Amino acid sequence: MQKLTVKGRLSYPALDTKVRMKLPDGSSVEHYGCDIVFPKTDTKQINAVEACLKTAVTEIFPNVSPDAFLSAVRSKSESRGVLRDGDAKIASSHKPENYTQTYTDSVYISAKNKYVQPLLVYRQAQPVSNPR
């Protein structure tokens, strides 16, 4: 298992309480989550995330080329990749003005979990909240 620390800006954080998301079929689901946004020019972090993804693919699917697997996922849908393009989020949004300031010239990772509240810590690794 890979461990990776990504430094970025949190967007739409739902880390202490769950947020309800409406699905296309009319039902809804609650989840914890946030987007972690960082500039496209931060190639060091982008390369670290991609290296971590390639290692994970190699561990899970030893007979598959990591590059081929990741490019197949990206070509299937932009929204399926781990690293997503902020400009594409703005272009596909019903209200682009909500996203322009944060997502322009950026990439982001969307992290969500339906069941487990994330552990929040200060810079000195002291807990901010108690996960439920």
**With left for phi above 0 and alpha for psi between -120 and 50, is residue 26 left, alpha or beta?**
left
pLDDT band at 1 (very low <50, low <70, confident <90, very high): low
70 CB neighbour count, 10 Å cutoff: 17
- Map out the domains of the chain as residue ranges: 9-113
pLDDT exceeds 60 at position 131: no
The helix (H) or strand (E) run that includes residue 71 is helix 66-76
pLDDT reported for residue 76:
65
* Closest to 3 in 3D by CA, of 38, 36, 48: 48
Percent of the chain surpassing pLDDT 90 = 25
- Whole-model pTM: value is 0.76
pLDDT reported for residue 28:
92
pLDDT band at 130 (very low <50, low <70, confident <90, very high): low
Task: Write the CB contacts of 58 (distance below 8 Å, at least 6 apart in sequence).
Answer: 66
